[in-house]
Amino acid sequence: MRLILTNIGQLVTLAGAKGPRVGDQMRSLSILEDVAVVCENGKIVEILPSGNLRPTFRSKEAYVDVAGRVVTPGLIDAHTHLVFAGTRIEEYEMRILGSSYSEIAALGGGIRSTVRRTQALDEDELLDESRQHLEMMLACGTTTAEVKSGYGLSKKDELKILRVVRRLAEEARADLVPTFLGAHEIPDEYRSDRDGYVRLVIEEMLPAVSAEGLARYCDVFCEERVFSLEEARAILLAARSYGLGLRLHADQLTLSGGAALAAELRAATADHLEQIGESEMTLLRDAEVMPVLLPGSVFHLGLKKYPLARRMIDLGLAVVIATDFNPGSSPTPSLPMVMSLACTQMQMTPAEALTACTINAACSLGMEDSVGSIEVGKQADLVVFNCTDYRQIPYFFGMNLVRMVIKRGKVLDLAFDGKRI
Ligand code: NIG
Ligand code: FE
């Protein structure tokens, strides 16, 4: 089956040197104008001027005239918690009225309240709910996503979540990269036995996750009142011994040393980083750890301190942006919205923002050979936006400009009709 997109006004290819883009490279998008893209067997096989296209009228050929619109690579969301049950609207309201995220968590709300709801669903029910989250993301142009567990916090429920990720991935609407985040919070029944929970993660959960091949990465929420540096180090070193790559929730609410730990362990990414300063940025750069910045959570928690993306780019870090899609701190499935926040709140240019959620995000997941840019030989993952200049993607906000999503050469039927949450 061949799919041909014609009359592309701007084809934002992101083609370029291999590896993560840093510094000025983040602004170079390699845009082609008035071109067509030919996809065959799920891959991009040719890019040519629209005028050179000669229809062959083969029976297995579909033409889509995009009428001068913008086409980008399928967006890549390198940090999500998309498998969860319910919402946290009560806490949203409490925060508006003055309580803080940490206070609510300390009182038994926060992550633990989503854990209770997620544990209550069986695997099929959780799959149904998570599928709706994925459809929301697809409708916003995401075709590849990292997905963390972390709302199970028991061996049985963490495995259940990772199996849901695997089944969703098998439905093949998106590429999903599973991350084990058993150390997301201390569950209710271990509040007076933290060591016991860390042992459970290391001695029971990790071996089981590994035996079933359910995760590619391991993550820990390293934060005051959650997991300490020492606990995080022990869990991540154990994960590495099972062959998992490392990611880390680091220095989100307090400067607790997570970024330095990510550098020490040469993790793939250090995520959040709202609180880090110059010296931690240098450590990350020198260890080639990619910062994954999540402005949606700063926005939704009503906080003011966004991570210093401008400074990171100027220092030569390969910045990634992601949604952090989760019910507590960032209930948005939309990378275009995150791009808007990156531009207006973190002084990233529209080009840098797009680089950060395409090719750099792909590199952070070790997937740059197949996704993240529009190049012959790569997977045909494409998004058609209803605009004529890519800068309009972050410029318009609070609306969805996505017109069409193509995954592995197939136009997706965006069935999302508004989830009844
Ligand atoms: O990335 N920081 C830890 N985890 C999530 C929040 C999860 C939740 O509140 O449910 C985050 O912000
Ligand atoms: Fe997160």
Q: Above 60 in pLDDT, residue 48?
A: yes
DSSP state letter for 362: H
pLDDT band at 54 (very low <50, low <70, confident <90, very high): confident
Across residues 132-148, what is the average pLDDT?
97
Contacts of residue 92, defined as CB under 8 A and 6 or more positions apart, other chains included, come to 300
Which among 388, 417, 369 is positioned nearest to 175, based on CA atoms? 369
Q: Is the Cα torsion angle 165, 170, 176, 180 positive or negative in sign?
A: positive
Q: From atom 11 of ligand 1, which residue's Cα is the shortest distance away?
A: 329
Mutate which of 329, 330, 332 to test ligand 1's pocket (most atoms within 8 Å of Cβ)?
Answer: 329
Q: Is 394 a pocket residue for ligand 1 (Cβ < 6 Å)?
A: no
Residue 421 reports pLDDT greater than 50? no
Segments of the chain assigned to CATH 2.30.40.10: 2-74+372-412
Report the pLDDT averaged over residues 155-175: 98
Q: Is 55 a residue whose pLDDT tops 90?
A: no
Q: How confident is the model at residue 417 (pLDDT cuts 50, 70, 90)?
A: low
Q: Which two tokens stand for residue 119?
A: 């544990």
Atom number in ligand 1 closest to CA 151: 10
Region label for 190, one of left (φ > 0), alpha (ψ between -120 and 50) or beta (otherwise): alpha
Is the C-beta atom of 326 inside 6 A of ligand 1?
yes
Tell me if 332 CB under 6 Å of ligand 1: no
Q: For the segment 218-274, what is each residue's pLDDT rounded down to a tens digit?
A: 999 999 999 999 999 999 999 999 999 999 999 999 999 999 999 999 999 999 999
Sorted by sequence, the CB contacts under 8 Å of residue 401 that are 6+ apart come out as: 336, 385, 386, 387, 392, 393
- What's phi and psi for 144, nearest 5 deg? -140, 135
Of 207, 166, 157, the residue nearest 187 (C-alpha): 157
Mean pLDDT of 287-294: 98
By residue count, the chain amounts to 421
How many CB atoms neighbour CB 241 within 10 A? 11
Determine the pLDDT at residue 405.
98
**Share above pLDDT 90 across residues of the chain, in percent, rounded to a whole number:** 94
pLDDT in tens, 62-109: 999 999 999 999 999 999 999 999 999 999 999 999 999 999 999 989
CA 326 to ligand 1 centroid distance, Å: 7
Q: Give the residue from 12, 135, 7 showing the smallest Cα distance to 69.
A: 7
CA of 330 to the centre of ligand 2 (A): 8
Nearest-angstrom CA–CA distance, 193 and 189 = 8
For residue 373, count CB atoms less than 10 angstroms from its CB and return exposed for 0-12, middle for 13-18, buried for 19 or more.
buried
Q: Selecting from 3.50.50.60, 3.20.20.140, 3.30.413.10, 3.40.47.10, what CATH number does the domain 76-364 have? A: 3.20.20.140
Residue 58 has pLDDT above 90, yes or no: no
CA distance 18 to 32: 19
Residue 309 confidence (pLDDT): 98
Q: How far is the CA of 248 from the centre of ligand 2 (A)?
A: 9
Answer whether 132's CB lies under 8 Å from 185's CB. Answer: no
Which of 116, 184, 256, 293 should be mutated for ligand 1, with most atoms under 8 A from CB? Answer: 184
Instruction: State phi, psi for 292 to the nearest 5 degrees.
Output: -110, 110
**Hey, what CATH topology would domain 2-74+372-412 get?**
Urease, subunit C; domain 1 (2.30.40)
Instruction: Give this prediction's pTM.
Output: 0.97
What DSSP element (H or E) covers 147?
strand 142-148
Q: Is the CB of 114 under 6 A from ligand 1?
A: yes
Which part of the chain is CATH 3.20.20.140? Answer: 76-364
- The mean pLDDT value for 142-155 works out to 98
Ligand 1 atom with minimal separation from the 328 CA:
9
Average pLDDT over residues 126-133: 97
For range 303-313, the mean pLDDT: 98
